[in-house]
């Protein structure tokens, strides 16, 4: 009975130790293609050269409610930038955040983050529990440290609205705004710069901006590591 179970456990432990030992000596391959890579960001020279750098131009998010949000991202969400974003979010590679933050800080338009406080887009609590961290917060903390900006982790997300599937845009916005609030004991900064990993539809950023403005923020802009093409 327990003899076999014990050796199974021992085999698992040895295998885990062996994997960790290998990971410690073998340099990590390129996160996008698997070729050998080095440096602060694990991308090979080809994937690094292929990064889709965007201009300093911001995009204007507008849901027709009259309050728009200027948003900016350094990179297009494809190739190496997509691989790093997904590794941070789904593989828990939080060590990547500092290198990603360096890419943001190197090219952020000054008008966007001047004197602002960085506000991470909150993750649904169930998702945060499963993942163990909020990638937007990890990224915001790294950017704040590099740029010497304040981190204001003042938003929270609750309620049952965990998924955005199967709703039209207006319903999604209303559900998102209903699920967001300012954390008890926190206040909304006068100049808020929302931070998230990827800008896709902008619905989440607009919902966060509406909550921040209602709580007293005079200016709200947004900063993401990458944005999908066409945004």
Given the rule CB under 5 A, which residues bind Zn ion?
A: 30, 32-33, 35, 44, 47
CB of 31 to Zn ion, least distance (A): 8
**How far apart are alpha carbons 66 and 194 in whole angstroms?**
18
Minimum distance of Zn ion from residue 36's CB (angstroms) = 9
Q: Which is nearer to Zn ion, 46 or 203 (CB)?
A: 46
Instruction: Compute the least distance from the CB of residue 46 to Zn ion, in Å.
Output: 5
Least distance in Å: CB of 76 to Zn ion? Answer: 16
Per the document, the length of the chain is 231
Select 34 or 216, whichever has its Cβ closest to Zn ion.
34
**Of 30 and 155, which has the nearer Cβ to Zn ion?**
30
* 58: its two tokens: 């911001």
Strand ranges (DSSP E) for the chain?
59-61, 69-72, 75-76, 117-120, 150-151, 155-157, 180-182, 191-199, 219-227
Nearest residue to 139 via CA among 199, 51, 212? 199
Written as one string, the DSSP assignment of 202-230 is: SHHHHHHHHHHHHTT-SEEEEEEEEE-TT
Cβ nearer to Zn ion, comparing 48 with 213: 48
Q: Which is nearer to Zn ion, 37 or 138 (CB)?
A: 37
**Shortest reach from residue 20's CB to Zn ion, in Å:** 24
CB 99 within 8 A of CB 57: no
């Amino acid at each position: 009975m327990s003899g076999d179970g014990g050796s199974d456990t021992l085999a698992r432990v040895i295998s885990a130790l062996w994997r960790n030992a290998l990971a410690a000596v073998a340099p990590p391959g390129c996160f996008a293609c698997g070729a050998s890579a080095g440096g602060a960001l694990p991308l090979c020279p080809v994937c690094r050269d292929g990064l889709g750098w965007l201009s300093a131009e911001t995009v204007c998010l507008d849901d027709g409610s009259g309050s728009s949000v200027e948003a900016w991202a350094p990179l297009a969400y494809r190739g190496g930038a997509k691989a790093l974003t997904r590794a941070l979010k789904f593989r828990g590679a939080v060590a990547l955040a500092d290198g990603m933050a360096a890419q943001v800080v190197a090219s952020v338009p000054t008008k966007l983050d001047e004197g602002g406080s960085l506000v991470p887009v909150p993750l649904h609590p169930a998702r945060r529990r499963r993942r163990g961290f909020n990638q937007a917060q990890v990224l915001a903390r790294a950017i704040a440290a590099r740029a010497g900006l304040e981190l204001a982790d003042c938003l929270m997300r609750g309620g049952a609205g965990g998924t955005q599937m199967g709703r039209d845009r207006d319903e999604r916005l209303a559900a998102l705004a209903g699920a967001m609030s300012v954390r008890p004991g926190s206040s909304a900064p006068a100049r808020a710069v929302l931070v998230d990993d990827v800008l896709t539809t902008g619905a989440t950023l607009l919902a966060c901006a509406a909550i921040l403005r209602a709580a007293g923020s005079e200016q709200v802009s947004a900063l993401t590591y990458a944005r999908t093409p066409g945004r």
